[in-house]
Amino acid sequence: MKPITLILGSSGKTGSRILNKLTQLNYPLRLGSRKTIPAFDWEKPEGWDDVIKGVDQIYISYQPDLAHPNSIHHIQKLIELSKKYNVKRIVLLSGRGEPEAEACEKLVENSGLEWTILRSSWFSQNFSEGMFLGQILERKVIFPKLKSTEPFVDLEDLTDLAVDALVKNVHIGKKYELTGPTLLSFQDAFGQIAKELNETIYFEEIPLDAYIKILGEFGLDQDTIWLIRYLFETVLDGRNETVVSDFEKAMGKKPKAFKDYVKETAKSGVWNLAST
pLDDT at 162 over 50: yes
pLDDT score of 276? 39
pLDDT score of 274? 73
DSSP string of 149-161? -B--B-HHHHHHH
Report the alpha-carbon distance of residue 45 to residue 233 in Å, rounded.
30
pLDDT at 171 over 80: yes
Supply the mean pLDDT for the chain.
95
Helix, strand or coil, per DSSP, at residue 89: strand
| H-assigned helices in 57-98 | 71-84
69: preceding bond cis by omega (within 30 degrees): no
DSSP state at residue 238 = S
DSSP state at residue 150 = B
Q: Cα separations (Å) of 118 from 16, 53, 63, 74, 158?
A: 17, 24, 15, 18, 8
10 Å Cβ neighbour count for 14?
21
Report the alpha-carbon distance of residue 158 to residue 255 in Å, rounded.
9
10 Å Cβ neighbour count for 107?
19
User: How large is the average pLDDT for residues 216-223?
Assistant: 86
CB 2 within 8 A of CB 87: no
Higher-confidence residue of 235 and 265: namely 265
pLDDT at 234 over 90: no
pLDDT at 191 over 90: yes
pLDDT score of 223? 84
Q: Cα separations (Å) of 236 from 44, 101, 156, 225, 232?
A: 31, 15, 23, 16, 5
CATH topology of domain 5-121+153-179+242-254: Rossmann fold (3.40.50)
pTM score, whole prediction:
0.95
- Of 73-77, 190-194, 221-225, the one with minimum mean pLDDT is 221-225
List, for residues 73-115, the tens digit of each pLDDT value: 999 999 999 999 999 999 999 999 889 999 999 999 999 999 9
What's the full length of the chain, in residues? 276
Give the chain's radius of gyration (CA, Å): 19
Closest C-alpha among 102, 83, 84, 81 to residue 92? 102
DSSP state at residue 139 = T
pLDDT at 275 over 60: no
pLDDT > 70 in the chain, percent: 99
10 Å Cβ neighbour count for 91?
25
DSSP state at residue 148 = -
Q: Please provide residue 201's backbone torsions phi and psi, each rounded to the nearest 5 degrees.
A: -115, 110
Backbone torsion region of residue 13, taken as left when φ is above 0, otherwise alpha when ψ lies between -120 and 50, otherwise beta: alpha
Domain chopping of the chain, boundaries: 5-121+153-179+242-254
User: How large is the average pLDDT for residues 138-155?
Assistant: 95
pLDDT score of 154? 98
Helix, strand or coil, per DSSP, at residue 20: helix
List, for residues 236-271, the tens digit of each pLDDT value: 999 999 999 999 999 999 999 999 999 999 999 999
What are residue 6's DSSP bridge partners?
A: 30, 58
